[in-house]
């Protein structure tokens, strides 16, 4: 019987040395790429709250506070274990027991931690401004972290992964577009529905984090530039032409027929507003209206949305732009501009389709497309025809207010 020959793993000292060097090189390469993949893109400035008389700050891991007018380092490694009150005063910003005679301070967390502001945790730094006797707080945070705080507030974390990826790319494109348009203001985006809803580190979830990471740096591009990928909850059957809403033409946002959101809970809606309530709302918002006697639909655009609404008051028909009318009646009750109006005795009955302005991606449609395994790229191509996916250049300098470099 033959014994198998003895096999030496290292053979000789020389082979061992070669292996060790190769291993070391591989580890260095891995570390390099890890560092590369951890670049989090440009910094975005998000308005968290404005017109406040006071804010509460918590920093259990420690923070540094700077006066941004004098660049003075006011507090070093300050651990704030209990909510600290930051208040507006005529002489400056009151930070706990300290009066900082400045109109702008910056709070920087230690060790890459987070700051808790009014109960919510945020990565990056917090800038507090004193203007006209009130405070506003702006979060300066890297784009990729910002997106991790947006996705769970904009879509359901349990939705199909390709839908989450499509949302990540749309949200990133929207944010970067705003950065390229940003001027001398103190912030680029707000944390509410006027931009996209942002909840900071507190709302981050595992699946939405993965969707942001899987699409890192990816943005929608149209004619070589980052594209403003608007989106909304549910289109109700046809997305809206941007020109009808904001008066600007943009080929990929002319509106498409969407058969995908039919099963959305917002596909059909109804709301009843008593005549008295309607009169009250209209009289507060519009001069010359004391009573609403009747309401009728104006012209419809090709997507089925109303361009205007007419209100009968004191024997005269007054015309309102539908988006103004929605604001007056309450945008969360009048969910879209696509509705019909009926008057039943002293009540107005509105029955409509969809939720939101209707421009760009229909999130419920994207959800249904994800359910049937459509890829993120196909979902985006469907809602933004003519656009393609590009990538922000990692090493690029990001100059706010200018066009960002995109790789093909």
Nearer to Zn ion, 258 or 311 (CB): 258
Q: How far is the CB of 364 from Zn ion (least distance, A)?
A: 6
170 contacts Zn ion (rule: CB under 5 A): no
Give the whole-angstrom CA distance, residue 174 versus residue 148. 14
Nearer to Zn ion, 130 or 258 (CB): 258
Interface pick for Zn ion out of 362, 366, 368, 376 (rule CB under 5 A)? 362
Q: How far is the CB of 362 from Zn ion (least distance, A)?
A: 3
Q: How far is the CB of 72 from Zn ion (least distance, A)?
A: 53
Those residues whose C-beta lies under 8 Å from the C-beta of residue 300, and which sit 6 or more positions away, are 306, 307
Of 255, 263, 292, 265, the C-alpha closest to 277 is 292
Applying CB under 5 A, what is the total number of residues that bind Zn ion? 5
Strands (E), 301-378: 308-313, 316-321, 339-344, 347-353, 361-362
Q: How far is the CB of 240 from Zn ion (least distance, A)?
A: 11
Nearer to Zn ion, 235 or 309 (CB): 235
SS3 219: strand
Nearer to Zn ion, 156 or 308 (CB): 156
Encoded one letter per residue, x for contact with Zn ion by CB under 5 A and - for no contact, window 239-258 reads -------------------x
Which tokens is 191 given?
A: 């944390």
Question: Regarding beta strands 361-362 and 231-232, do their DSSP bridges make them parallel or antiparallel, or are they unpaired?
Answer: parallel
Query: Of 102-110, 134-142, 200-208, 357-365, which part binds Zn ion (CB under 5 A)?
Result: 357-365
CA 395 to chain centre: 24
Give the whole-angstrom CA distance, residue 184 versus residue 94. 26
Q: Which of residues 252-291 bind Zn ion (CB under 5 A)?
A: 258, 261
- CB count within 10 Å of CB 235 equals 37
Of 305, 320, 174, 173, the C-alpha closest to 241 is 305
Q: How far is the CB of 353 from Zn ion (least distance, A)?
A: 9
Bridge partners of 87, per DSSP, are 54, 94
Query: Of 4-12, 47-55, 288-296, 364-372, which part binds Zn ion (CB under 5 A)?
Result: 364-372
Strands (E), 278-375: 294-297, 308-313, 316-321, 339-344, 347-353, 361-362
Nearer to Zn ion, 114 or 261 (CB): 261
Q: How far is the CB of 238 from Zn ion (least distance, A)?
A: 8
Q: How far is the CB of 128 from Zn ion (least distance, A)?
A: 41
Query: Of 39-47, 63-71, 123-131, 227-235, which part binds Zn ion (CB under 5 A)?
Result: 227-235
Q: How far is the CB of 300 from Zn ion (least distance, A)?
A: 18
Nearer to Zn ion, 164 or 261 (CB): 261
Compute and round to an integer the Cα radius of gyration of the chain.
Answer: 27
86 contacts Zn ion (rule: CB under 5 A): no
365 contacts Zn ion (rule: CB under 5 A): yes
Q: Are 141 and 124 in contact (CB under 8 A)?
A: yes
Interface pick for Zn ion out of 126, 235, 289, 359 (rule CB under 5 A)? 235
Q: Are 343 and 294 in contact (CB under 8 A)?
A: yes
Nearer to Zn ion, 176 or 256 (CB): 256
Q: Is residue 135 within a helix (H) or strand (E), and if so which, with residue range?
A: strand 134-142
Query: Of 29-37, 278-286, 302-310, 358-366, which part binds Zn ion (CB under 5 A)?
Result: 358-366
What's the chain's length in residues?
408
Q: What are phi and psi of 54, to 5 degrees?
A: -150, 160
Q: How far is the CB of 384 from Zn ion (least distance, A)?
A: 14
Query: Of 68-76, 199-207, 319-327, 355-363, which part binds Zn ion (CB under 5 A)?
Result: 355-363
For residues 158-194, one letter each, b for 16 or more C-beta atoms within 10 angstroms of the residue's C-beta and e for the rest, the string is ebbebbbbbbbbbbbbbbbbbbbebeeeebbbbbeee
Binding-site ranges for Zn ion (CB under 5 A): 235, 258, 261, 362, 365
């Amino acid at each position: 019987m033959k014994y198998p020959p003895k096999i030496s793993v290292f053979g000789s000292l020389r082979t061992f040395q070669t292996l060790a060097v190769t291993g070391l090189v591989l580890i260095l390469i891995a570390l390099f790429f890890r560092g590369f993949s951890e670049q989090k893109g440009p910094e975005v400035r998000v308005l968290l709250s404005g017109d406040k008389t006071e804010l509460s700050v918590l920093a259990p891991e420690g923070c540094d506070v700077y006066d941004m007018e004098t660049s003075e380092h006011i507090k070093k490694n300050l651990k704030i274990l209990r909510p600290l009150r930051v208040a507006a005063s005529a002489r400056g910003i009151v930070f706990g027991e300290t009066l900082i005679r400045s109109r702008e301070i910056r709070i920087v967390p230690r060790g890459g931690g987070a700051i808790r502001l009014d109960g919510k945790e945020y990565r990056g730094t917090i800038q507090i401004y004193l203007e006209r006797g009130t405070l506003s707080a702006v979060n300066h945070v890297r784009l990729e972290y910002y997106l991790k705080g947006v996705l769970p507030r904009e879509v359901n974390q349990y939705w199909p992964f390709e839908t989450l990826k499509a949302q990540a790319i749309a949200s990133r494109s929207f944010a970067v577009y705003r950065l390229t348009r940003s001027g001398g203001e103190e912030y680029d985006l707000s944390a509410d529905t006027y931009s996209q809803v942002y909840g900071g580190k507190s709302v981050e979830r595992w699946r939405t984090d993965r969707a942001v990471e899987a699409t890192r740096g990816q943005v929608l591009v149209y004619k070589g530039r980052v594209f403003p990928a608007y989106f909304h909850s549910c289109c109700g059957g046809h997305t809206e032409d941007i020109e009808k809403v904001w008066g600007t033409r943009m080929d990929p946002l002319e509106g498409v027929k969407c058969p995908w959101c039919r099963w959305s809970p917002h596909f059909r809606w109804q709301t009843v507003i008593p005549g008295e309530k309607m009169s009250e709302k209209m009289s507060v918002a519009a001069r010359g209206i004391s009573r609403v006697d009747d309401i009728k639909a104006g012209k419809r655009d090709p997507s089925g949305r109303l361009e205007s609404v007419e209100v009968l008051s004191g024997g005269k028909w007054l015309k309102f732009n539908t988006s103004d009318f929605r604001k007056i009646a309450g945008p969360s009750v009048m969910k879209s501009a696509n509705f019909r109006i009926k008057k039943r005795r002293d009540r107005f009955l509105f029955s409509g389709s969809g939720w939101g302005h209707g421009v760009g991606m229909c999130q419920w449609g994207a959800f249904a497309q994800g359910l049937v395994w459509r890829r993120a790229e196909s979902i985006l191509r469907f809602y933004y025809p003519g656009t393609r996916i590009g990538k922000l250049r990692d090493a690029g300098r990001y100059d706010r207010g200018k066009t960002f470099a995109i790789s093909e």
